[in-house]
Structures are given as C-alpha cells and as structure tokens.
Chain A
Amino acid sequence: MKIIRFQLNGKWVEVEIEENMTLLDLLRRKLHITSVKRGCERGECGVCTVLLDDKPVYSCLTPALKAEGRSVITVEYLSKNGKLHPIQEAFIKSGAVQCGFCTPAFILTTYALLKENKNPSEEDIKRFFDGIICRCTGYVKIIEAVKIASELCNQS
C-alpha cells in the first residue's frame, strides 16, 4: 500500500492505494467517479479517457501512481455552479449523445483539443479523436458538436 496525493478536478486529494492499481480503478472504485467508463481495459476503445496534466490519456493503461503530484481532470470538472460548459451545451445542441457511454471521453478530449487549437479543422478533429470509439452516433454529430463548441468557446 502507498499513499498518493494528486489534484482531482482542481482539489488535492490523498488516498491509500494498492501499488498495482490502475488510474481507472482508483477513480471508479476508490473515488466513485463513474463518468470514467470501463470498456475494453486495454487501450482500444477510449471510454476511460481522463486528462492527466491537461493531456488525454487512457486511465485503464495508466498506473494510478503515475498521477502522484499531478492534475487529473474528469468530466465533472467542466460544469460550474450548476451551469454546463459550452462544450457540453454543444454536444446537447448537435445531438451528439445517444447512449452516452463514450460522451465523457469525447467531451474531455474536445476540452483538451480546444486548449491547443481554438479552430480545429474537420481533419484535425478526426485525427485527435482517433482513439475513442462511439458505437451509436456514427461520429457526424460529434464532429459537428466540436465545431459548435469551438465557436461557443471563442465567443465567451
């Protein structure tokens, strides 16, 4: 067992964990953040995506101890005081959510992408989203959502 200290959605937390634990299990089982989904568990599907120091990573392939001293962001971080983030508004507006299983991963990846590139082209969006699978939407609405999100974020 080891004690790990890291910033979760902007707040420092301290947890005692097994050293073989993945970041996925730390978030879901220890901290009950179930927006981070368990899918393939081997880096193929992307639904376990979180932001580690603002970069999207697969939490299923990340040893929990890699988060020590760093920032972990999940989709809970985005809405403030009951108000949704423009990216979340955009996903609703374009109908980019069906079953919703992939949605937290896509929203977090959009958040990270728009931080690096305020006006991503369709090609950029496809390239940066190559690591998440959606089995419902056919991606068209998701790509549309990112375009709307970039407009909304640039306005505000």
Chain B
Amino acid sequence: MALFYQIPKLNYHKPKNLNEALKLLKELGDAKPIAGGTDLMVDMKIGRVKTRNLIDISDLREIRKIEFHKDSIIIGAAVTLQEIINNERIRREIPILVEAAENLGSWQIRNVATIGGNICNASPAADMAPPLLILNSKLKLSSINGDRVIPLEKFFKGPRQTELMVDELLTEIIVPRESCNAGMKFIKIGRRRAHTLSIVAVAVAVRTMEDKIEYVRIALNSIAPTPIRAYKTEEELIGSRVNEVEGKVKKLIEEIKPISDVRSSAEYRREMAVKITIDALKMSIENWRCKEK
C-alpha cells in the first residue's frame, strides 16, 4: 500500500545514558537526536530532514531533571512542556515559562514535546524562545569531549540553524535566579486561540524604580529569521517614565523584519508586534508593582 507520508528506512538507537548517547552521536556522524519528535517526525515525513540514524534522548535521566539552585534554575533539555506546566515551583518562580508552554500546541503535543527540542529546532516561531531570552538564559552544550556554556542569544544562527555541532547535544537550560526578579508577561497571537503557531509573540521583563524603567528585556518571535531580543527598543526605554512607554515602543518597527507567509502579512505582523509589546510592557509593570509590595 502506498502511503502519502513514509519515513525512509533508518536505525533507531536507544542509548541507556547520556554518555552512551554522546558517544553514538560522535561515532555515527550523521545521526539526529529525537526527543518528543513533534518537529522531527513531520520534517522526516515531508523530506525536509533526511537521516539514517535516530538517537532517542527522551528517556535520558540526566537531561530530564529540574533543579533549583541558589543562583540558578536548571531545566534539563528533555523536560516536556507538560512537566513544566505541572511543576509547582516553576509555576511560582518562573510563571512566564508556564504561560508560554500552556499556549504551545495541544495537550497531545505538550505531553511529549520538550523545551530543548523547541530551542534546537530553531524555528523563527519557537514559543519558548522569547521567555528564555528575556530570562538571560544560558545553554549547556555537551559532546563526548566536554561541555560548553553559551548565552541563548548566541545560539540561533538562522531559520533551523544553530550553534550546535554535529556531535553536540543541548543538555541543560540555565536560568539565572536574578533574572526571575522582574515583572513579566508573555503574549502570543495566532490565527486562532489554541493549537497554532504564532503570527507574533512577545515576552517582556521589567523592573521600575520611582516610576522610571530601570531594567527591561523584550524578545519576540516570528518577526525575523530567528527569535530575537529587541535591544534598541530596550535601550530607548531605559530611564523613561512609565507613561512614555507607548511612544517609545513605536521605534520597535525599525528593528524588526517581518515577512508575509501563510499565517499573516508582514504589515499585520508589524502592527501587532508593536501593539502586543506595549500591552505586555504595561502588564509587566503592573506585575512588578504587585511583586514589590
């Protein structure tokens, strides 16, 4: 029977631990790690990704943990989005990750899709990227030869292109504790409310002092080849009064490069990017004031 979608023949490897996975990755040379498979299975079906070897990393204990340290919170790359949503401490300490995860895909997707897969897939529309960017997150990339830690901003190179070498895995997402001390908000716009990729999404983190913005982080997806921080708009906002926010965010238009695609026109994206950034800033300021009390 001819089927419309057929994944070409391949070998499916299930290493028992991280070390074995890293060794295999090095030895095989052309292997692809598979976590939840929600991006990769589609890509293999449509022929966008071709590989003869899959390495299943979804059960590796070393990258399925969530740890709360004094200076940082570490989330293993193979932690699923539903596990993030169900984790009470994450909900309390980094609620913005829960907000973003709850709006990603459907229950069936969230049950298997991993936070690491969302980042490594490097889609311009990755929903976990904006919150992780405003949290100044770092990534631990591991190979059989050792580990390196890089800031998330340095990871994305282009659509589906990353800093990862062929023999490397993303193992940990490191969120510095001090970044959690801010008012935050995530807003996503799609073609419908649920189970859809973003037309544009924004995450904002703010601290104010005496009615002036003293710390701000803004990150968006779907308006450039990769998820990005809006550095110029952030600079523009530092030191301004809370009631000047709206005017200053108009500058955002100069630093984003949306395109038209099946989900939206570039014009709509541009306007909505500004609109939801203003909304998210206002709500973040409000959240910060509640937090300070």
**A positions within 8 Å CB-CB of B:** 2, 18-20, 22, 25, 29, 41-44, 46, 49, 52, 55-58, 60-63, 65-66, 68, 109, 126-132
A46 and B108 contact, CB distance less than 8 A: yes
Complex formed: what's the CA distance from A155 to B228 in Å?
52
Instruction: Output the nearest chain A residue to B11 by Cβ-Cβ distance.
Output: A19
Judge whether B15 is part of the interface by a CB distance below 8 angstroms: no
A127 and B194 contact, CB distance less than 8 A: yes
Using A42-B42, A43-B42 as known contacts, say yes or no to A131 and B108 having CB atoms under 8 A apart. yes
Using A22-B41, A43-B42 as known contacts, say yes or no to A63 and B12 having CB atoms under 8 A apart. yes
Stretch at the interface among B2-10, B134-142, B212-220, B271-279: B2-10
Using A42-B45, A63-B41, A63-B54 as known contacts, say yes or no to A128 and B107 having CB atoms under 8 A apart. yes
Instruction: Output the nearest chain A residue to B53 by Cβ-Cβ distance.
Output: A19
Interface residues of B in 1-41 (CB under 8 A from A): 1, 3-12, 14, 34, 37-38, 41
In the assembled complex, the CB of A133 is this many whole angstroms from the nearest CB of chain B, namely 9
Using A42-B42, A43-B109, A61-B42 as known contacts, say yes or no to A20 and B9 having CB atoms under 8 A apart. yes
Interface residues of B in 74-112 (CB under 8 A from A): 82, 102, 105-109, 111-112
A66 and B56 contact, CB distance less than 8 A: yes
- Mark each residue of chain B from 175 to 210: 1 if its CB lies under 8 Å from any CB of chain A, else 0: 000000000000000000011000000000000000
Judge whether B118 is part of the interface by a CB distance below 8 angstroms: no
In the assembled complex, the CB of B193 is this many whole angstroms from the nearest CB of chain A, namely 8
Complex formed: what's the CA distance from A57 to B107 in Å?
8
10 residue pairs of the A-B complex, CB under 8 angstroms, read A18-B9, A20-B6, A49-B108, A57-B111, A57-B112, A63-B12, A63-B41, A128-B107, A131-B107, A131-B108
**B positions within 8 Å CB-CB of A:** 1, 3-12, 14, 34, 37-38, 41-42, 45-46, 54, 56, 58, 82, 102, 105-109, 111-112, 194-195
B8 and A20 contact, CB distance less than 8 A: yes
The 5 closest A-B pairs by CB, nearest first: A131-B106, A130-B194, A19-B12, A20-B7, A61-B41
The B interface, classified by DSSP as helix, strand, loop or mixed, is loop
B54 and A56 contact, CB distance less than 8 A: no
Complex formed: what's the CA distance from A126 to B193 in Å?
11
Counting chain A CB atoms within 10 Å of each CB, the highest count among B4, B34, B105, B107 belongs to B107
Contacts of A18 in B (CB 8 A): 9
Contacts of B11 in A (CB 8 A): 19
A56 and B108 contact, CB distance less than 8 A: yes
Contacts of A29 in B (CB 8 A): 1
Counting chain A CB atoms within 10 Å of each CB, the highest count among B3, B12, B54 belongs to B12
Complex formed: what's the CA distance from A41 to B46 in Å?
11
In the assembled complex, the CB of A53 is this many whole angstroms from the nearest CB of chain B, namely 9
Complex formed: what's the CA distance from A149 to B235 in Å?
55
A65 and B56 contact, CB distance less than 8 A: yes
Instruction: Output the nearest chain A residue to B12 by Cβ-Cβ distance.
Output: A19
Complex formed: what's the CA distance from A129 to B193 in Å?
13
In the assembled complex, the CB of B77 is this many whole angstroms from the nearest CB of chain A, namely 17
Contacts of B10 in A (CB 8 A): 19-20
Using A22-B7, A22-B41, A130-B194 as known contacts, say yes or no to A65 and B108 having CB atoms under 8 A apart. no
Complex formed: what's the CA distance from A58 to B45 in Å?
15
Instruction: Output the nearest chain B residue to A2 by Cβ-Cβ distance.
Output: B12
Complex formed: what's the CA distance from A80 to B111 in Å?
28
B106 and A46 contact, CB distance less than 8 A: yes
Contacts of A128 in B (CB 8 A): 107
Contacts of B14 in A (CB 8 A): 65, 68
Complex formed: what's the CA distance from A68 to B54 in Å?
15
Complex formed: what's the CA distance from A132 to B107 in Å?
9
Contacts of A46 in B (CB 8 A): 106, 108
